[in-house]
A and B are shown apart, each in its own frame.
Chain A
Amino acid sequence: MSAIAAPGPVPDERRPRMRRTTRARLVRLALYALFVGVVVVVGLLADWQAIKSNYFDADVWRELFPEIITTAARHTVLYTVYSFVLAFALAIVLALMKLAPVAPYRWLATGYIEFFRGLPALVVIFGVGLTIPLAFSGWRPPGGNAGAGVLALTLVYGAYMAETIRAGILAVPKGQYEAARSLGMSSYRTMVSITLPQALKIVIPPLTNEFVALLKDTSLIQVLGFAAAERELTSFASDNIVAYANASPLMAVAVLYLIITLPLTRLVAWMERRGQRAR
C-alpha cells in the first residue's frame, strides 16, 4: 500500500517548485524588457544635438582649463582640508569632553554638538560670515569670506565628527583600558597611547565619509561671495554658466567632483569589506 501511495506526493512537491523557477525566469525577463524599453524611449525622445551643444560643448570645456583646476578644484580641496583638519582637532576635544568625569564638560559638549548638528550648514555659514562682524564690533575671521566659510564648516563638522570619534573610543574593548591602567599608566597616558590610536583606526571609514560630505558642503561657502581668485568649483561653475550661457561648465565641475569623491567612497567600501572579513 505504501509503495502505491509513495509516488503520489513526489510530483505534488515537484510541480510547484518548477512553477516557481518558471515564474522567476519570467519576472527577470520582464525586468530586462522594461529596462531596454526605457532606454529606447529615452534615446528616441531626447534631443541629442541639444544635449551635446548645451552640456558637452568642446570649446567651452577647453576654455575652462587651466583655471578650473588651478583655481576652482584647488580651492575646493584647500577649503575641505583646512576645515577637516580644524574640525578633527575640535572633534577630539569635544569627544573627550563628552566622556569627561566632570559633568559640566559633558553638558557643554552635548549642548554644542546638538546645537550644530541640528542646524543647516548654510545657516551657520550665514551666521559666521554675516553676523560675527556685526556682533563682535567688526572682527572678521582671517581669510575673508572664504575663511568665514571654513570656520563655519569647522564648527558644524566638528560636531558631527565628535560623535563619530566618541563612538570609536567607546568601541575599544574595556580590557585595553584595564591592561594599560594595571601597568601603572595614567588615564591620560592610556587615552593617548592605547585608546585613541585604536579608536581612530575604527573610525577611519566613517570619517572618510564625513570628509566627502564636507567636500561637497564647501560649495555652500559661495553664498558669502568670493573674489574671482578664491572661487571653488561650484562658484566657478555658476559664474561660467552665466558667462557662456551654456551648461557645459556645470558638467565639467560635476566630473571633477566625482574624480575626487568616487575614489574616496570606493576606498571606504573597500575598508568596510576588509573590516568585516577581519571579524
Chain B
Amino acid sequence: MTETRRGDIPAIEVRGLHKYFGENEVLKGIDFHVDPGQVVCVIGPSGSGKSTLLRCVNRLEEPTSGQIFVEGVDITDEETDLDRVRSRIGIVFQSFNLFPHMTVMRNLCIAQQRVKKRSKEEAVEIARRNLEKVGLAEKEDAYPAHLSGGQQQRVAIARALSMDPDMMLFDEPTSALDPELVGDVLDVMRQLATEGMTMMVVTHEMGFAREVGDKLVFMDGGVIVEEGDPHVVLGNPQHERTQRFLSKVL
C-alpha cells in the first residue's frame, strides 16, 4: 500500500477550501488529496475541522469557497448531479445512522433499489455478500435497535459497500463505541484497506492510522499542520503543534 497505486486522477482533490459557520471560520484554506487505493487518516483535536472537511467531500456541508473534485468531477459546480456523485462515495458516521424503522436487510437494499435501480433479487444477493463480509450474515432480519453499537456500525459499513462505492469516508467510526467493540469495526476497515478500497478516515485510533494508513494528515485550527507517512508523522513529528497533540494521545 504505497504511492505505486497512484492513478492519473486523484480520487478526492480539495483546493483552497474555506468553510464558515456564521462568523466562525472552521476551514482556513485546505489543499488535500486522496489517490485511488490510498488510505488517508485525518487526526487532530476536536474542533480542528477534520469532520467538516470530510463532510464537505460529499457536500453534506456546503463549502464557503474553494473547489472539491471527486474523481475529477467538480462537486462544487451547480451543474454536477450530486446524487450520482454521492452514490459513488460510501460514508460511515460516528452515530451509525441506520434506518430504525427497517430491518438490516431493508437498510442495505433500499438505496440499491431506489438509486441504483437494482432488482430486489440482485439487491438482496449483494446485501447478503456484504453482511457476510462484516460477519453479520445471521442478522439480516434484525432491527437496528436489537444490535450492539459495534454490530450497527458494521451494518452501516455493509450498507455503504452495497452501493459499490469507489471510495469510503469514515467520520470517527469508532468514537461512539464501547472499547471492547472497537476491534471488530477496525478489523472490517482493515480488511477493506487490504482489498484496495480508497479510504478517508477521520479517527482517534492512532494504532489503526499507523498500521493501515498510507498517509496521515494532522489538522489543527482549520488548517493542515502536517502530513506524510504515518510512521514518520507519528514517530518524528516536525511541528510543535503536532508534537503537543501526540504527546497527549499516544
Give chain B residues whose Cβ lies under 8 Å from the Cβ of A193.
110, 114
Total residues of chain B contacting the partner, CB 8 A: 24
Give chain B residues whose Cβ lies under 8 Å from the Cβ of A198.
99-101
Binary per-residue interface labels of chain A (168-193) against chain B in the complex, 1 for a CB within 8 Å, 0 otherwise: 00000101101111111110010001
One of B82-90, B186-194, B206-214 contacting the partner: B82-90
Please state if A189 and B114 are interface contacts (CB–CB under 8 Å).
Answer: yes
- Tell whether A176 pairs with B97 under 8 Å between CB atoms, given A182-B58, A183-B111: yes
- Tell whether A201 pairs with B87 under 8 Å between CB atoms, given A183-B159, A184-B163: no
CB distance from A251 to the nearest CB of B (A): 44
Does B60 interact with chain A (Cβ within 8 Å)? yes
Please state if B99 and A176 are interface contacts (CB–CB under 8 Å).
Answer: yes
Please state if A184 and B111 are interface contacts (CB–CB under 8 Å).
Answer: yes
Binary per-residue interface labels of chain B (60-85) against chain A in the complex, 1 for a CB within 8 Å, 0 otherwise: 10000000000000000000000110
Does B91 interact with chain A (Cβ within 8 Å)? yes
| Bound CA–CA A276/B163 (angstroms) | 36
Does A133 interact with chain B (Cβ within 8 Å)? no
Which residue of B has the minimal Cβ distance to A192? Answer: B114
Please state if A179 and B93 are interface contacts (CB–CB under 8 Å).
Answer: yes
Does A81 interact with chain B (Cβ within 8 Å)? no
Please state if A178 and B93 are interface contacts (CB–CB under 8 Å).
Answer: yes
Please state if A194 and B83 are interface contacts (CB–CB under 8 Å).
Answer: no
Does A197 interact with chain B (Cβ within 8 Å)? yes
Give chain B residues whose Cβ lies under 8 Å from the Cβ of A185.
83, 110-111, 114-115
Q: Which of A182, A186, A194 contacts B99 (CB 8 A)?
A: A194
- Tell whether A184 pairs with B97 under 8 Å between CB atoms, given A189-B114, A193-B114: no
Can you list 28 contacts pairing A with B, beta carbon distance less than 8 Å? Answer: A173-B95, A175-B95, A175-B97, A176-B97, A178-B60, A179-B91, A179-B97, A180-B99, A180-B111, A181-B86, A182-B58, A182-B60, A182-B91, A183-B111, A183-B115, A183-B160, A183-B163, A184-B83, A184-B86, A184-B111, A184-B115, A184-B116, A184-B163, A189-B114, A189-B115, A193-B114, A194-B99, A197-B101
A contact residues vs B (CB 8 Å cutoff)? 173, 175-176, 178-186, 189, 193-194, 197-198, 201
Extra inter-chain contacts (15) besides given A179-B156, A182-B89, A184-B83, CB under 8 Å: A178-B60, A179-B91, A179-B93, A180-B111, A181-B60, A182-B60, A183-B86, A184-B86, A184-B111, A184-B115, A184-B163, A185-B110, A185-B115, A189-B114, A193-B114
